[in-house]
Amino acid sequence: MSGSVSAFGILPLSVAVASIRRSISSATASTAADVAADLVRNQQQNALINSARGGASTGAAVSTRVETMVPLSAVTSYGPGTAPLAINHQGPFVVTTFSFNLPPGVSLNQATNAIQRTMATIKTPASIQGVFAGTAKIFQESLSNQPVLILTAILTIYIVLGILYESYVIPLTILSTLPSAGVGALLALLIFKTELSLIAMIGIILLIGIVKKNAIMMIDFAMSAERSEGLNAREAIYKACMMRFRPIMMTTFAAILGAMPLAFGFGTGAELRQPLGISIVGGLVVSQVLTLYTTPVIHLYLDGWRNRRKAQWDRWYTRFMGDDLAAPAE
């Protein structure tokens, strides 16, 4: 009895581990065989069900019945190639963007005109349309709105002056100073080889408010002299030119000297301010030289035309309405 116990107690540990592994392997093999048998039975049952249903779908993600598969090459072709990393859209349309830089001495207006001429020359189909974006688009929009903006400003000034002087003719005399200012601004930009940018256009619009003050000073004094001193139009405008010469020159030179730093300054952002200063200085210089001579002439011409029209209206009104009614004021 004690010998058997002694023999069991000295059994090596490796022999026991090997015996346990053989037991687990046999159990695993039997389990795998059972699982494989279950899969075969399930496939056979599915095949019978599909054949009974006429090949209806079982709802499984992968077909479990034998059927003829259509090869992918029958409907598609594939191979190595290149493709864009991203597809850009502008609204509902697929677009391709081409960027460009301006060479020295070439304006954005010249570049856009060259692109439009090229598009017309190559005769692109109707399905392909080219439009500008970014800075070029903003430039085109501002260029198309500039005439409307200038005409609106001039019309507003005409209405205000007409209400102020209660006349349709006197505002025309005052607004006659604007063309010379515009010509002077454009000449200055050409002399300094500066393009007519949006900033330069702002300078021209500023000239509309600055330049007309010369004519206002003369016309206002002349009309006051006609009413208070009984002078005729020629004597009144001559006296106005003599009396208003000094304040006109003072205000004009003050505006010119104020715009000089913009036109000839340098430093950070100077290229943005220079067109504004050049247009203001050029417009003021040319308009100052011309309006001192043209404004009195235009005033005398329009005043004579106004008096002739008023005399005709008085005769017509007296003939058809009677002498007892006063002729309406202008």
Q: Which domains does the chain have, with CATH numbers?
A: 140-321 (1.20.1640.10)
Residue 159's pLDDT is: 92
Q: Which amino acid is at 273?
A: R
Residues facing 95 on adjacent strands: 88
Tell me the backbone φ, ψ of residue 94, rounded to 5 degrees: -80, 130
pLDDT of residue 51: 56
Q: Based on C-alpha coordinates, what's the Rg of the chain?
A: 47
Q: Are 109 and 195 in contact (CB under 8 A)?
A: yes
Helices 233-264 and 270-321, packing angle to 10 deg: 160
- Kindly compute the dihedral angle of the four CA atoms of residues 189, 193, 198, 200, in this order, to the nearest 10 degrees: -30
Tens-digit pLDDT profile for residues 254-282: 988 988 888 887 877 777 888 888 999 99
Q: What residue type is 146 in one-letter code?
A: Q
What are the residue ranges in the chain where pLDDT is below 70?
1-40, 42-67, 322-330
pTM: 0.58
Phi, psi for 89 (deg, rounded to 5): -130, 145
Cα separations (Å) of 284 from 72, 260, 276?
78, 12, 12
* pLDDT tens-digit readout, 92-144: 888 888 888 888 877 777 888 888 888 888 887 877 878 887 777 777 777 77
Q: Are strands 88-90 and 93-95 parallel, antiparallel or unpaired?
A: antiparallel
End-to-end CA, the chain: 150
